[in-house]
Amino acid sequence: MLIKKPSDINPSEITPESVYKNRRQFIEDSGKLLLGAAAASALPSIANAQTGAGLKARAPATMRRSPPAAWWADKFADIKPAPDSAPFYTGEALTPYEDVVSYNNFYEFGMNKGDPSSNSGDYKADPWSVEISGEVAKPGVYNLEDILKPHDLEERIYRLRCVEAWSMVIPWVGFPLADLIKRFEPTSKAKYVEFETLVDPETMPGVRSRFAIVNWPYREGLRMDEAMNPLTLMAVGVYGDYLPPQNGAPLRLIVPWKYGFKSIKAIVKINFRETMPDTTWVDLQAQEYGFYANVNPAVHHPRWRQDTERRLPQTLFSRSRIATQPFNGYGDQVASMYEGMDLSRYY
Ligand code: MTE
């Protein structure tokens, strides 16, 4: 996030023609396809279009992952499809799977967009456990199977807007963070939730690098009402498949109205506290990155335009920039949480 200029367009962001020719692999719900395959391959922008209620976005068959452990397959057998209306659906073209899993920010694996997918071969998301601590009645170290057991998985199609002024539309698989939090019974003192990412120098080259800029572990936080908002998702999958390492396997946060850096990956610790936690990007550059980090086209960033964004992938057919929406288009669901706050001060 610190080094790339907004005008830099990486050639890998141009989606190859083959991706469009494979569009039908993304959508199993073929009865709802609007166009035939010929038209789909000729007109990329239309070929990307979502197809309405009951859509099940699926990773291409050749790229589907093996379950990290046997119990995952049962969990993923029955994913509730995304509805066909906001806020869990955007009506916009999905960013193809190939782009979602190859253009990433995950500094634990390196600072370039291709590093997380190239450098995460040794990473293991199983076995996995999460430590729950702080202001809760039920602290402890929970293994992931126990964390996930009571939760039904659902698909949600959200915009992801990075502070670097690129954006995607991604079908995540997960469950509401609020449902998880309730199980640990936060006390009345729990005003904030703090999250931490795994630190494993053995499998994370970015962590053992001498040039790392982050003071590991990567840390993020939310105010309690933000954490309990129905939009806030604990994601365990993408495109109907298990999360790949580069997207934060096995468990990551998705907060769609905030800049992408709030959506912390590979979570190993959730701590409930009375005071606002320190977070990675605020520690690094508080003038540029705030705790709230709500998507806000009116708040200037010194290196990236925040009033417009590049929707990935960029193709010959796409508009070069689209307008960025306040709260990333989720204002109806979240603006009331910030009533009376000066959002240019609390950015
Ligand atoms: N989480 C960790 N642990 N480390 C990171 O470097 N990068 C953040 C966020 N979560 C990051 C992280 C940033 S800047 C963005 S934009 C999103 O992850 C990108 O998510 P994606 O790669 O799945 O698109």
Give ligand 1 pocket residues (Cβ under 6 A).
1, 104-108, 160, 162, 197, 218, 247, 260-261, 263-266
> Which of 51, 35, 44, 46 is CA-nearest to residue 89?
51
pTM > 0.85: yes or no: yes
**Å from CA of 107 to ligand 1 middle:** 8
pLDDT band at 12 (very low <50, low <70, confident <90, very high): very low
Q: Quick check: 197 pLDDT over 70?
A: yes
- Domain extent for 63: 11-338
Task: Say if 77 falls within a structural domain.
Answer: yes
Give the pLDDT score at 227: 99
Q: Quick check: 167 pLDDT over 80?
A: yes
Number of structural domains (the chain) is 1
Task: Say if 3 falls within a structural domain.
Answer: no
Q: Quick check: 37 pLDDT over 70?
A: no
* CATH code: domain of residue 96: 3.90.420.10
Task: Say if 5 falls within a structural domain.
Answer: no
Contact 272/193 with Cβ under 8 angstroms?
yes
Task: Say if 6 falls within a structural domain.
Answer: no
pLDDT band at 2 (very low <50, low <70, confident <90, very high): low
Give the position, in ligand 1's atom list, of the atom nearest the Cα of 259.
16
Task: Say if 111 falls within a structural domain.
Answer: yes
Q: Quick check: 25 pLDDT over 90?
A: no
Which residue has its alpha carbon closest to ligand 1 atom 17? 260
Contact 241/277 with Cβ under 8 angstroms?
no
Task: Say if 159 falls within a structural domain.
Answer: yes
Q: Could you give the CA distance from residue 26 to residue 241 in angstroms, rounded to a whole number?
A: 11
Q: Give the burial string for 276-290 (b: 16+ CB within 10 Å, else e).
A: ebebbbbeeeeebbb
Give the pLDDT score at 28: 39
**Å from CA of 1 to ligand 1 middle:** 10
Mean pLDDT lowest among 8-22, 49-63, 194-208, 287-301: 8-22
Give 70-79 pLDDT, tens digit per residue.
999 999 999 9
Give the pLDDT score at 53: 52
**Positions of E strands within the chain:** 129-134, 140-143, 154-161, 166-176, 192-197, 219-223, 233-238, 241-242, 252-254, 267-273, 308-311, 322-323
Mean pLDDT within 276-301: 97
Q: Could you give the CA distance from residue 202 to residue 229 in angstroms, rounded to a whole number?
A: 36
Give the pLDDT score at 169: 98
**Å from CA of 43 to ligand 1 middle:** 31
Q: What is the share, in percent, of the chain residues with pLDDT greater than 90?
A: 82
Task: Say if 344 falls within a structural domain.
Answer: no
Which residue has its alpha carbon closest to ligand 1 atom 13? 261
Give the position, in ligand 1's atom list, of the atom nearest the Cα of 238.
23
Which residue has its alpha carbon closest to ligand 1 atom 19? 105
What is the residue-wise DSSP string for 227-242? HHSTT-EEEEEETTEE
Contact 89/271 with Cβ under 8 angstroms?
no
Average pLDDT, the chain: 88
Task: Say if 345 falls within a structural domain.
Answer: no
Give the position, in ligand 1's atom list, of the atom nearest the Cα of 214.
6
* Residue recorded with tokens 């936060």: 186
